[in-house]
Amino acid sequence: MDNKNFAIGVLSTTAVILFVGLTVIQTRPATVLADGMTVRGGDYEMTVGALDDVDEELVYVLDSVQQRMIAYRFNSTTDRIEIVAGLDLAEIRAKSQPKSRPAPPARNRRRTP
């Protein structure tokens, strides 16, 4: 076997391995990623997020008129959509605002001539 035939054999084998690898990668279904998507419609805004500790993805629905947010998740065991939490955003905003402090008393200062 001469060097020319050996090189052709090695290159042909490498091409077949790469072709099989490319075929395997292309035939697998693509992973669906929905992180960071936000949609607005009227008074509502929907976005998605994930809880990494329990490997769960949630859909958050914000109602700007009612100042409420509700988080939903899909339960794959029962094939149902469940409410995870509902929050009153107006109440949260009110609690996060610093309480107003009374103005300090005015000091009577006399001018000295």
Structure tokens at 41: 């419609």
CA angle 18, 21, 26 (to 5 degrees): 125
- Is 67 among the domain residues? yes
Task: Count up the domains in the chain and report the number.
Answer: 1
Residue span of the structural domain in which 57 resides: 38-96
Which of 1-15, 29-43, 75-89, 93-107 is predicted with the least confidence, judged by mean pLDDT? 93-107
The answer to whether residue 8 is domain-embedded is: no
At 109 the three-state DSSP class reads coil
What is the model's pLDDT at position 9? 92
Share of residues in the chain with pLDDT > 90 (%) = 25
- At residue 39, the pLDDT reads 84
Tell me if 6 is assigned to some domain.
no
Q: What is the mean pLDDT of residues 101-111?
A: 63
Confidence of residue 72 (pLDDT cuts 50, 70, 90): very high
Enclosing H/E stretch for 71: strand 68-75
Q: What is the pTM of this model?
A: 0.51
